[in-house]
Amino acid sequence: MITSGRSGSIRLGKRNMISAFVDVLLPVFLVTAVGMTLRLRLRLSASPFNQVMLYILSPALVFHFLRTIEIESASPTQIIAAVCLLTAVILLISSVVGRLLGHDRKTQSAFLLATTFPNAGNMALPMSLLAFGETGLSIAVTIFAIQSILGWVLGAFLAARSTSVGLAPLKETLRLPITWAIITALFFRASDVSLPGFIAESVGMLADAAIPMMLIILGFQLDNGVSLHRWPTIVLSVFIRLIGAGLLAYGTTIIFGLSGVVQQTFVMVAAMPTAVYTIILAKKFNAEPRLVTNIVVISTFCSLATLAPMIALVQTWL
């Protein structure tokens, strides 16, 4: 049964919540299974797929999304500032935790990469619509826009730090096509310049292929199964991502005066599992991709148990 919440959100009954998770998560796992089966049967190398994803499909996805997105939330400036602050706080806390765990440079980069960035796209957007309606979706889209920029640019910098020092990580980040895709998309968005129709259509086609390809690559990485090697690192990363980030997000909404559906959606998106694209960045810069893959998979599975109570909690108390 669906009833109206006191802050204008939509309350999902138990049956609807189960249906929501099936509709959102099952396709993710099925496409991932296709990638794993392909790898097992044909023994294909993941490297060409990673290159296509990093240099073609990901830039197309981010460029297309940032150029065409329509932000309709009532307080985009506050939301953007809140996302930036939350990301900085999670990054700081994760850095301290990583040092306490005695991580070497590569492991620390992987830990920060996997802990900091949530799956704000193919999981958060449909969940926001199902849990909080059209208002929640518009807020989640705003969050996804800023996370797309932070995740790929800051994420690339963090991954590059695993094997380089000084200004080298920044130079590596600037060499990535996705950095320039973001800059170009923001230019088109700020100006009256429009793309020729055939170019926009071509970019859109490439963008549509990006998320399925990410999940296929995730399946490739699961060829050797999921490992709990370095389990303290994995457990703490998953805990910070699924539980700690939500609590920190709540505190962030208090600081910025966010309330109602804005607050509810912000907290829920913050508590999403690790973004799949972190695997692409970890592979590119050799930032312990196996560890990052394990955290992505385990956090996604664990979110089956954490997101439903999280949504119920924010609908009841916020």
- Mean predicted confidence (pLDDT) in 266-285: 92
Q: How many CB atoms lie within 10 A of CB 60?
A: 22
Beta bridge pairs of residue 2: 12
- Please, which pLDDT band fits residue 292 given cuts at 50, 70 and 90? very high
- Domain range for residue 174? 8-317
The size of the chain, in residues, is 318
Q: How many domains does the chain have?
A: 1
Mean pLDDT of the chain: 85
Q: What is the pTM of this model?
A: 0.83
Residue environment code for 261-294, b if the CB has 16+ CB neighbours within 10 A, otherwise e: bbbbbbbbbbbbbbbbbbbbbbbbbebbbbbbbb
Beta bridge pairs of residue 196: none
Asked if the structure places residue 198 within a domain, the reply is yes
What type of residue is 145? A
pLDDT at 258 over 80: yes
Q: What is the pLDDT of residues 198-211, one digit of tens each?
A: 999 999 999 889 88
Q: What is the pLDDT of residues 50-78, one digit of tens each?
A: 889 889 998 898 888 888 877 665 578 89
Q: Do 261 and 103 meet the contact criterion of CB atoms below 8 Å apart?
A: no
For 51-75, give the DSSP string: HHIIIIIHHHHHHHHHHH-----S-
The reported pLDDT for the residue numbered 116 is: 96
Share of the chain above pLDDT 70, in %: 91
- Report the distance separating Cα 153 and Cα 24, nearest Å: 27
Asked if the structure places residue 216 within a domain, the reply is yes
Asked if the structure places residue 290 within a domain, the reply is yes
Q: How far is CA 310 from CA 43, 80, 149, 212, 285, in A?
A: 40, 22, 26, 27, 34
Asked if the structure places residue 246 within a domain, the reply is yes
CATH number at residue 16: 1.20.1530.20
Beta bridge pairs of residue 3: 11
Asked if the structure places residue 64 within a domain, the reply is yes
Asked if the structure places residue 192 within a domain, the reply is yes
Residue 32 CB-density burial (10 A; 0-12 exposed, 13-18 middle, 19+ buried): buried
State the SS3 of 84-109: HHHHHHHHHHHHHHHHHCCCCHHHHH
Higher pLDDT pick, 1 / 178: 178
Asked if the structure places residue 59 within a domain, the reply is yes
Q: Do 230 and 101 meet the contact criterion of CB atoms below 8 Å apart?
A: no
Asked if the structure places residue 2 within a domain, the reply is no
What type of residue is 151? G
